[in-house]
Structure 1
């Protein structure tokens, strides 16, 4: 039940301020709880961020340790190069190291017809017919295209109309002021792209063809073997290797398919950089200082320094060797260094040894994966468990804070009742004193 407060009406005291000050003293335990929650939430945020980064490192290390087509690992990739700038070579994981010379016969061409007669775009050019006939010369039926009233523009529009699916592209070329000739070209290249356009009954359209570019396939030779393609792209010309000819490609190209050392180096560097970033964060956040305001947010955490130590230990295989021959070492600051030139030299000398040292179940990447997964696994990870415990602890602190809210509200109500009762009592006493004073004054006047 709400209690009315009579603030100093009788006593002259600022009872509201007195009550607030008393409650402020009595709420010190709750204030300490709130401060504890703020501190614990900062620690929780730092732990969650680290756990997320460790999980990301575990994923990157897994991809590096177990390269497969499903992960598109760069460790499996091969790099294809061409000595001819007009010939582009690419390789997939299906390719194998190889080299060969490619001789370019000719590039692919589209089939193109330029028509004889020139007209204004609004001229009627179909002799009164509302259709023209398209023969793709592939043994199929002749297609009738509706051209409206038969103007030059309508003929071009009918050829280009997407729903007509002609496989052709019509262009009006201006040959004089307001005078245009029609050029029609197949949208695809290759010798099977030939076509003809005519009026119904076979009469020539626009005076017939003035010039024709015959469609043709691209052609190259690989080691004396002739290879053709309807486009300038030769997919899987050898397993996993695709060659693409530029429009003006000529001559020869020496194609080399080799292991991509630069891609492998970049993959290792990515993992090393991630590790160093995490090591720096752990060092900063667990730093101890006698002045608590200067200490790391996770100062006193015993798990994270062990994690950092185990991460650094991954550069040492079980045979008591190290990864120094492959460019990976620990410096004086407790961070990893990666010498890319040293890695490249080692890879060039013995790619299988480098591959074995980095990938596979016993390689560097697998050791990094094991350490980071033990910590960050979303079900069993030690850091995950710490985060779960911290979250529960914060929830309990917030429950205690809520309990204090109820307790302090009850205490405020009690104090307000007490001070209200005091004011009422003082008021009554003041009334009695005033009555007695008036009575005494009356007696004095009567006696006089």
Structure 2
């Protein structure tokens, strides 16, 4: 219906706007509540994610396999060492007697790349130490053709060839792709005659370590796998003569990090919970948390703090883990190291199967994607926000209808007032005319 605002001497549109502002107050309260609920939901979702991360970290610490690591060290960087799952603590004094070498042939004669160098045709014979021979076809018998044929993966030669530039031309250098004494080979023309004037050889060599007491070990490479069970040693090329003390010990630093990370993660979650559920102080509620007084969060917080208590006479203080009067967990690193050094296996079993397992169970009970308490709280708040948003939308229609009704009422009122004003003006005119007639 068209508005005729102002016809009756007053602005009905402005009055309708003012009345509608009052009508909107309930909807605005719903919108404000929905916004507040959304902020609380965001905080709850973030907290739930942190608790889920805590559950994952606790699960790692609860896995006894993660406590079995060993640290391997060497006093000389030229001797590398690593320890596997089957290794045991111990130490070795290692002297590098020899390092592994590949077999090399440096041929005497020089030639241009395009010169024919293969006698009697285009084929050469590769003779290995194990007695096997392979005939290689160079296709054109040239120096470049010979190098290319030796390097062709399809020929599976087990050698690599290089053409070395010298003052008189190029010389052929051929080297085995593996190291060790068994990498020896020979290379001749197909008829057995010397190729390129013959070659000077550098024999392949096994790496050799001296372990003392007359014990030596060899390897075709510079890596000695399972030198002792679970321990692998790798020596650098050119390290012959180097002596190193190799030690394998329990990974104390790794075990300490495992526990420290768990305690730090647990404290981070507990601090977040305390901040979110704080009631605030003073009349203005300064410091009030987004989830002030939330019973679900406080319940989960209490369960996490209760993980300090084990069954029977178990005491985490022996491992340096305690809880202070503020509810924060503390880790005495020196106390942990002392206990771990005395009994690595017992310490690992006690913490993994006790404290870490309890934290994992409490965190999972709160954040499990199907059954977690915090997860259920998140789901409930989402549903509540959806209902509030539906109510806000319903108010939009209600307010639209109310504005239409008010506009019609005030338009009718203005029309009536306008008519009355017109009639009043006309009547006043008539009365004035009658007065003028009487005077005359």
Query: TM (normalized to structure 2)?
Result: 0.84
Is 1:234 aligned to residue 224 of structure 2?
A: yes
In the alignment, the residues of structure 2 paired with residue 190 and residue 13 of structure 1 have an alpha-carbon distance, to the nearest angstrom, of 108
How many pairs were matched up?
Answer: 434
Q: CA RMSD in A?
A: 3.6
Please name the residue that 1:23 is paired with: 20
Please name the residue that 2:30 is paired with: 33
In the alignment, the residues of structure 2 paired with residue 434 and residue 202 of structure 1 have an alpha-carbon distance, to the nearest angstrom, of 138
- 1:172/1:182 contact within 8 Å kept: yes
Is 1:334 aligned to residue 327 of structure 2?
A: yes
Please name the residue that 1:47 is paired with: 44
Aligned to 1:380, what secondary structure does the other structure show? coil
In the alignment, the residues of structure 2 paired with residue 181 and residue 292 of structure 1 have an alpha-carbon distance, to the nearest angstrom, of 89
Describe the superposition over 1:344-366 as per-residue Cα deviations: whole angstroms up to 9, x where unpaired: 12222233442343122xx2111
Residue pairs, 1:66-215, within 5 angstroms? 66-68=63-65, 73=66, 75-119=67-111, 122-126=113-117, 133=124, 135=126, 137=128, 142-144=134-136, 146=138, 150=142, 152=144, 155-161=146-152, 166-176=157-167, 179-198=169-188, 201-202=191-192, 204-209=194-199, 211-215=200-204
- 1:10/1:424 contact within 8 Å kept: yes
Q: Sort the Cα spacing of 1:17 and 1:197 in 2 relative to 1 into closer, same or farther, 3 A.
A: farther
Is 1:312 aligned to residue 305 of structure 2?
A: yes
Deviation at 1:429?
6.3
Residue pairs, 1:216-365, within 5 angstroms? 216-220=205-209, 226-249=216-239, 250-289=241-280, 290=282, 291-292=284-285, 294-320=287-313, 322-360=315-353, 363-365=354-356
Is 1:383 aligned to residue 380 of structure 2?
A: no
In the alignment, the residues of structure 2 paired with residue 149 and residue 414 of structure 1 have an alpha-carbon distance, to the nearest angstrom, of 105
Describe the superposition over 1:84-113 as per-residue Cα deviations: whole angstroms up to 9, x where unpaired: 432211112222233344443422112222
Query: TM (normalized to structure 1)?
Result: 0.82
- 1:5/1:419 contact within 8 Å kept: no
- 1:116/1:181 contact within 8 Å kept: yes
In the alignment, the residues of structure 1 paired with residue 121 and residue 412 of structure 2 have an alpha-carbon distance, to the nearest angstrom, of 105
In the alignment, the residues of structure 1 paired with residue 287 and residue 436 of structure 2 have an alpha-carbon distance, to the nearest angstrom, of 80
Q: Sort the Cα spacing of 1:20 and 1:170 in 2 relative to 1 into closer, same or farther, 3 A.
A: farther
Aligned to 1:144, what secondary structure does the other structure show? strand
Q: Any unmatched runs of 5+ in structure 1?
A: none
- 1:7/1:14 contact within 8 Å kept: no
In the alignment, the residues of structure 1 paired with residue 14 and residue 151 of structure 2 have an alpha-carbon distance, to the nearest angstrom, of 86
Deviates more, 1:291-300 or 1:87-96: 291-300
Q: Sort the Cα spacing of 1:129 and 1:283 in 2 relative to 1 into closer, same or farther, 3 A.
A: farther
- 1:132/1:198 contact within 8 Å kept: no
